[in-house]
């Protein structure tokens, strides 16, 4: 048995410091979520140093709450404080990662997930004891947060960065082909592609009412006649040899039956068709993920959502960190050929698997 005198005190002290940091950073993350959801970062991004009253007025919020939140942001070193005049400022170097104007660099959006995960913690604790999982229906804001993040990414990168990863795909889309997106969520990927390539036809599949109804409303608002959305459990997709190009964005690792879905995709492609699978960039081997820049985030996502929603459906619970080695194996098991696994500068989360169906 280890006694207190056997331990390396330096190591223990360093760990205690790290744990204090963890607790502080977790607290900051929750406050960042509030700053994002109330619009405070956006408002402050456009303001000179201001008092809590001026900031609250500009954001149309209650001053007492705003002042307490500002205190937390100041001690987190996110917002600067000047005691003379009691003014607060969001430095431009920080605004570059915290406001809507930052586009895909807006890291504050991701903080919203932690509050959402808190909502299901009791049920997850229960699942640790009894097995099973937590169904999608228990995550009231999941589609909205996910849609917000993927809209940001797809608006900025779909046409100029993501599609050109697939050799010749932009030209084919310009000419006119049939495209499907699997697990389309709120459908921004489809709508952005459909708007950019009016001669091609696009279908988004998802089993979330909230997902595809938001997607349809957006397609209507944008006046798109080449984008449709279908309510479909993609593990039961029976379409054969129909699509020239299929995509999935962040939508395979949380499938209850991922192998079946990948097979359905392979079957739905025309011979010679292409499937672009965008999914987590991590290793299947835990020891290779130690230095992953967002390793803890990925495992938290898995336990608090991705693995758990799949287990709730009686699935395998592949988990967010299934890894590129297993992904490649599962893709190849369907008969698809993995041509290349690419990465995109600035995207530390995803690998881009470019696969083809043999002609
Ligand atoms: C992590 S979200 C990604 C959504 C979207 N692709 C994006 O990037 O915003 C995964 C999506 O897959 C959908 N999904 C999961 N399993 C599904 C299934 N068996 N059939 C249809 N959709 C499914 C979920 O409803 C959810 O919208």
Return all residues near 79 (Cβ < 8 A) that are at least 6 apart.
44, 70, 73, 88, 89, 90, 94
CB atoms within 10 A of CB 65: 14
Q: pLDDT tens-digit profile of 155-211?
A: 999 999 999 999 999 999 999 999 999 999 999 999 999 999 999 999 999 999 999
> Residue 346 C-alpha to ligand 1 middle, in angstroms?
24
Q: Where in the chain is the domain with CATH 3.40.50.150?
A: 120-356
Q: What is the pLDDT of residue 241?
A: 98
Return all residues near 338 (Cβ < 8 A) that are at least 6 apart.
328, 331, 332, 353, 354, 355
Q: What is the pLDDT of residue 71?
A: 98
Q: What is the pLDDT of residue 131?
A: 97
With a 6 Å cutoff on the Cβ, whether 151 touches ligand 1 is: no
Q: Where in the chain is the domain with CATH 1.10.10.10?
A: 4-101
pLDDT at 2 over 90: no
With a 6 Å cutoff on the Cβ, whether 234 touches ligand 1 is: yes
> Residue 132 C-alpha to ligand 1 middle, in angstroms?
19
Tell me the three state secondary structure of residue 97.
coil
With a 6 Å cutoff on the Cβ, whether 250 touches ligand 1 is: yes
Q: pLDDT tens-digit profile of 26-77?
A: 999 999 999 999 999 999 999 999 999 999 999 999 999 999 999 999 999 9
Helix residue ranges, H only, 197-238: 209-221
> Residue 332 C-alpha to ligand 1 middle, in angstroms?
22
The 8-class DSSP code of residue 75 comes to H
Mean pLDDT value of segment 98-127:
96
With beta carbons less than 8 A apart as the criterion, state whether 179 and 246 touch: yes
Ligand 1 atom with minimal separation from the 251 CA: 10
> Residue 181 C-alpha to ligand 1 middle, in angstroms?
10
276: Cα separation from own chain's centroid: 17
Weakest-pLDDT range from 3-12, 151-160, 231-240? 3-12
With a 6 Å cutoff on the Cβ, whether 187 touches ligand 1 is: no
Q: What is the pLDDT of residue 4?
A: 66
pLDDT at 319 over 70: yes
Share of residues in the chain with pLDDT > 70 (%)? 99
Task: Tell me which of 1.10.10.60, 1.20.1260.120, 1.10.10.10, 3.40.50.1970 is the CATH number of domain 4-101.
Answer: 1.10.10.10
Tell me the three state secondary structure of residue 76.
coil
Where residue 3 falls among pLDDT bands split at 50, 70, 90?
low
Share of residues in the chain with pLDDT > 90 (%)? 97
Q: What is the pLDDT of residue 16?
A: 98
Mean pLDDT value of segment 292-310:
97
Where residue 346 falls among pLDDT bands split at 50, 70, 90?
confident
With a 6 Å cutoff on the Cβ, whether 204 touches ligand 1 is: no
Mean pLDDT of the chain: 97
Q: What is the pLDDT of residue 1?
A: 58
Top mutation candidate among 207, 263, 309, 312 for ligand 1, by most atoms within 8 Å of CB: 207
Q: Higher-confidence residue: 191 or 316?
A: 191
> Residue 121 C-alpha to ligand 1 middle, in angstroms?
21
> Residue 251 C-alpha to ligand 1 middle, in angstroms?
5
The 8-class DSSP code of residue 217 comes to H
Class of domain 120-356: alpha beta
> Residue 331 C-alpha to ligand 1 middle, in angstroms?
18
Mean pLDDT value of segment 97-123:
96
Q: Whose CA is nearest to atom 27 of ligand 1?
A: 185
Q: How far apart are CA 294 and CA 289, in angstroms?
A: 9
Q: Shortest CA distance to 305 belongs to which of 352, 265, 251, 257?
A: 251
Q: What is the pLDDT of residue 132?
A: 97
Q: What is the pLDDT of residue 89?
A: 98
With a 6 Å cutoff on the Cβ, whether 145 touches ligand 1 is: no
Mean pLDDT value of segment 147-156:
94
């Amino acid at each position: 048995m280890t006694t207190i005198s056997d331990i390396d005190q330096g190591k223990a002290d360093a760990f205690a410091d790290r744990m204090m940091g963890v607790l502080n950073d977790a607290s900051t993350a929750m406050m960042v979520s509030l700053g994002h959801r109330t619009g405070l970062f956006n408002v402050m991004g456009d303001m000179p140093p201001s008092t809590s009253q001026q900031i609250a007025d500009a954001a149309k919020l209650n001053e007492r709450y705003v002042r307490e939140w500002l205190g937390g942001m100041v001690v987190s070193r996110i917002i600067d404080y000047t005691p003379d005049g009691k003014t607060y400022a969001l430095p431009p170097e920080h605004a570059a990662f915290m406001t809507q104007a930052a586009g895909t660099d807006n890291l504050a959006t991701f903080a919203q997930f932690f509050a959402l995960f808190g909502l299901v913690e009791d049920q997850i604790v229960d699942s640790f004891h009894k097995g099973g999982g937590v169904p999608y229906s228990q995550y009231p804001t999941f589609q909205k947060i996910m849609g917000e993040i993927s809209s940001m990414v797809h608006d900025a990168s779909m046409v100029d960065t993501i599609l050109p990863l697939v050799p010749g795909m932009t030209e084919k889309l310009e000419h006119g082909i049939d495209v499907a997106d699997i697990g389309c969520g709120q459908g921004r990927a489809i709508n952005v592609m459909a708007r950019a390539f009016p001669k091609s036809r696009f279908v988004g599949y998802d089993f979330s009412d909230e997902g595809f109804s938001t997607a349809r409303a957006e397609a209507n608002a944008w006046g798109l006649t080449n984008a449709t959305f279908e309510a479909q459990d993609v593990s039961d997709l029976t379409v054969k040899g129909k699509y020239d190009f299929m995509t999935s964005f962040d939508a395979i690792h949380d499938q209850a039956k991922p192998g079946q879905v990948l097979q359905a995709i392979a079957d739905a492609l025309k011979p010679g068709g292409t499937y672009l699978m965008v999914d987590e960039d991590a290793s299947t081997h835990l020891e290779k993920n130690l230095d992953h820049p967002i390793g803890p985030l990925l495992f938290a996502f898995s336990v608090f959502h991705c693995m758990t929603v799949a287990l709730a459906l009686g699935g395998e619970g592949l988990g967010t960190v299934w890894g590129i080695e297993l992904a490649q194996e599962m893709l190849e098991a369907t008969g698809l050929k993995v041509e290349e696994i690419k990465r995109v500068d600035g995207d530390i989360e995803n690998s881009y698997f470019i696969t083809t169906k043999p002609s």
